[in-house]
Amino acid sequence: AQSVTQLGSHVSVSEGALVLLRCNYSSSVPPYLFWYVQYPNQGLQLLLKYTTGATLVKGINGFEAEFKKSETSFHLTKPSAHMSDAAEYFCAVSGSSNTGKLIFGQGTTLQVKP
């Protein structure tokens, strides 16, 4: 079975500081990995995804993530936080049969302080 663990349910950073949201996964097959963002009372928006190829993936709004197979990690980073980045972030892994089923982590709430 596949699973996702997001370390830290709540992360607080100052505006302009580095953002680091941690995600570890468990998968018996090469995973497809995703980061989604959710603003209050809205659906999920795809930030970035890793399927194959380059392990450093760039996404929207200045976010990027690096797939590290040896560490089974897919941490999300952004060099400089903006107030508009405050939201809930979800890491997800696709189902082992590539049906498209997403298995999500519990989510990390990012707070950005002025």
Partner 1 sequence: EAEVAQSPRYKITEKSQAVAFWCDPISGHATLYWYRQILGQGPELLVQFQDESVVDDSQLPKDRFSAERLKGVDSTLKIQPAELGDSAMYLCASSLDRGETQYFGPGTRLLVL
Q: Which residues bind partner 1 (CB under 8 A)?
A: 4, 32, 36, 41-46, 49, 90, 92, 94, 98-102, 104-107
| Closer by beta carbon to partner 1, 17 or else 104 | 104
| Closer by beta carbon to partner 1, 27 or else 94 | 94
| Closer by beta carbon to partner 1, 22 or else 49 | 49
Closest CA to 55 of 30, 74, 79, 80: 74
At its nearest, how many Å lie between partner 1 and the CB of residue 20?
19
H or E element at residue 29: none
Amino acid at residue number 60: I
At its nearest, how many Å lie between partner 1 and the CB of residue 91?
8
Contacting residues for 104 by C-beta, under 8 A, at least 6 apart? 4, 36, 90, 91, 92
